[in-house]
Amino acid sequence: MTTTPPPSSAPETQPAPYYPPQPAGVPAKRRNAVGIVALAVSAVGFLFACIPGALLLGWILLPAGFILGIVAVCLSGRVKWQGLTAIIVSIVGTIVGFLVFTFVVATALSDAVDEARGGSTTVNEAPADAAPQAETADEATTDGPTGTREDPLPFSASISNNDWDVTLNSFERNGNDVVMAGNPFNTEPGEGTQYVILDMTATYKGSGDGSSMLVQVEYVAADGTVISTWDSLVSGVEPTFGTASLLAGASDTGKQVYLVPSSLDGLIRVTPGILGDEVYFRLP
């Protein structure tokens, strides 16, 4: 008798292992081409801003780098540091450019003023009759007069700057007769006043055209009153100084007439050029 084996039991099913969900990875930031361009433009603009001759180009590039840097920072998913660096470089470059521009303008103005004033005025002739000056232990004096109101040059001295050589030739203390003979319509000097006549020469050394009118000569009274030839408007005393147009090397020699106090205790003040140094001379 055949025995039927009992049916085999089905294998037990094992449960599938549990894996917790993994967090999604953060995508890497991509290269920021706009930031690279912004940084390059700002760096080049910074360099140009430091060069006086290329300052304008620097001021064009720096704002462009600043704007590109802002755009680069605003792009999502892109590297930010180039844009931020470009913004910082453009701001610092603008400040540096402003300082360079200020320096250039200040230098140009200084050169223009120096050219207009003809440079420093020097004394050509060291006068032999200059009065010696007392020297104290606390204050050392110079070898001769300095040409200030307190320490005027002698009449025989001559002065120079880059544009002019000026020499005082003669001084007529009582010019009343000469003035009235030159033109009877000239104003008669009042009580306590009289005409004086200064003869002088100015030689032009500058570039281009010059005019002896730019050499200002005035009489400064003891009380500080400044008297010019325009105060009396005398005519007929020839030749008149201050009306010549000159080229380099040419000179104007002529007379200036002043109506001054009869005490004749003033000084002659010469300004060689509009912005030249004021130099004082004693009367002879």
Instruction: Taking residues 136-151, report their average pLDDT.
Output: 64
What local confidence, expressed as pLDDT, does residue 101 receive?
A: 86
What local confidence, expressed as pLDDT, does residue 130 receive?
A: 46
For residue 232, CA distances in Å to 183, 187, 226, 227, 262 come to 13, 8, 13, 9, 15
Question: Taking 70 as the threshold, does the pLDDT of residue 28 lie above it?
Answer: no
Question: Taking 90 as the threshold, does the pLDDT of residue 123 lie above it?
Answer: no
Buried b (16+ CB within 10 A) or exposed e, 121-155: bebeeebeebeeeeeeeeeeeeebbebeeebbbbb
Strand segments (E) across 44-92? none
What local confidence, expressed as pLDDT, does residue 131 receive?
A: 46
What local confidence, expressed as pLDDT, does residue 280 receive?
A: 97
Instruction: Quote the CA–CA distance of 271 and 277 in Å, as a whole number.
Output: 6
Q: Which amino acid is at 58?
A: G
What angle is formed at CA 172 by the lines to CA 171 and CA 174, rounded to 5 degrees?
145
Q: Does the reported pTM lie above 0.85? A: no
10 Å Cβ neighbour count for 8? Answer: 6
pLDDT in tens, 190-227: 999 999 999 999 999 988 888 999 999 999 999 999 99
> Which residues fall within 8 angstroms of residue 31, CB to CB, at 6 or more apart?
78, 79
Handedness of CA 79, 84, 85, 87 (dihedral sign): positive
Q: Given pLDDT bands bounded at 50, 70 and 90, which one contains residue 142? A: very low
- Cβ-count burial of 102 within 10 angstroms (0-12 exposed, 13-18 middle, 19+ buried)? exposed
Question: Taking 90 as the threshold, does the pLDDT of residue 151 lie above it?
Answer: yes
The answer to whether the CB of 271 falls within 8 A of the CB of 216 is yes
What local confidence, expressed as pLDDT, does residue 134 receive?
A: 42
CATH number at 158-282:
2.60.40.1240
Candidates 194, 178, 199; CA nearest to 253 is 199
**Cis before residue 239, ω within 30 degrees of 0?**
yes
pLDDT in tens, 225-282: 999 999 888 999 999 999 999 999 999 999 999 999 999 999 999 999 888 899 999 9
| Residue 192: alpha-carbon gap to chain centroid | 46
